[in-house]
């Protein structure tokens, strides 16, 4: 009888744990995608990688002495100068497919994981090119703060 009670208690705990399950947050995760393999909800397949916010438009991403056009990302690897790479190519370092609101069809340009991309999710680290890209709570567009990125971060006060 004791063994049956222990088994029933274990099953009850497993069922209770399953009821508390939250769906995973894929916002800071990059997946490869193609016509057969789609992206998680809220992401769009852009040049073979899932990206948030529906892609970019606008005037491109400032990337050192050049500007990366739509479909490209700025890659900063901390050794070489920033370079434009196709959005589907893995960047070793920081990457950005946007650097301000003008590049996002919807939502905002936000730091997501090791890069910046358009997202419609809430954003704790908005990316900017000018103060107009920043929300009222973080009105300053601060550039070159610590990592040598060619894009800026919205902050209350620049360091």
Q: Confirm whether 92 is domain-assigned.
A: yes
| Higher pLDDT pick, 75 / 30 | 75
Q: Confirm whether 118 is domain-assigned.
A: yes
What phi and psi values does residue 133 have, to the nearest 5 degrees? -75, -15
Q: Confirm whether 8 is domain-assigned.
A: no
Q: Confirm whether 12 is domain-assigned.
A: no
What pLDDT is recorded for position 27?
Answer: 47
pLDDT per position as a tens digit, 15-68: 555 555 555 655 444 566 777 877 776 565 655 656 554 444 567 898 988 999
Q: Confirm whether 19 is domain-assigned.
A: no
Average model confidence (pLDDT) across the chain: 77
Domains of the chain: total: 1
Residue numbers of the domain that contains 79? 25-155
- Which runs of E-coded beta strand occur in 3-126? 43-46, 49-52, 61-63, 66-68, 72-76, 83-86, 94-96, 108-112, 115-119
pLDDT per position as a tens digit, 112-121: 888 899 988 8
């Amino acid at each position: 009888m004791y063994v049956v009670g222990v088994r029933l208690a274990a099953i009850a705990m497993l069922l209770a744990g399953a009821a508390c399950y939250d769906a995973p947050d894929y916002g800071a995760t990059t997946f490869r995608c193609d016509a057969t393999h789609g992206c998680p909800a809220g992401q769009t397949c852009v040049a073979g990688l899932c990206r948030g916010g529906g892609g970019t438009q606008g005037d491109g991403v400032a990337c050192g002495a050049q500007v990366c056009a739509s479909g490209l990302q700025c890659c900063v690897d901390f050794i070489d100068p920033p370079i434009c790479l196709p959005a589907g190519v893995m960047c070793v370092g920081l990457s950005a497919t946007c650097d301000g609101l003008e590049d996002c069809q919807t939502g905002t340009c936000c730091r997501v994981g090791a890069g910046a991309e358009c997202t419609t999710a809430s954003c704790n680290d908005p990316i900017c090119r000018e103060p107009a890209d920043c929300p009222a709570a973080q009105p300053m567009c601060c550039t070159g703060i610590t990592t040598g990125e060619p894009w800026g971060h919205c902050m209350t006060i620049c360091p």
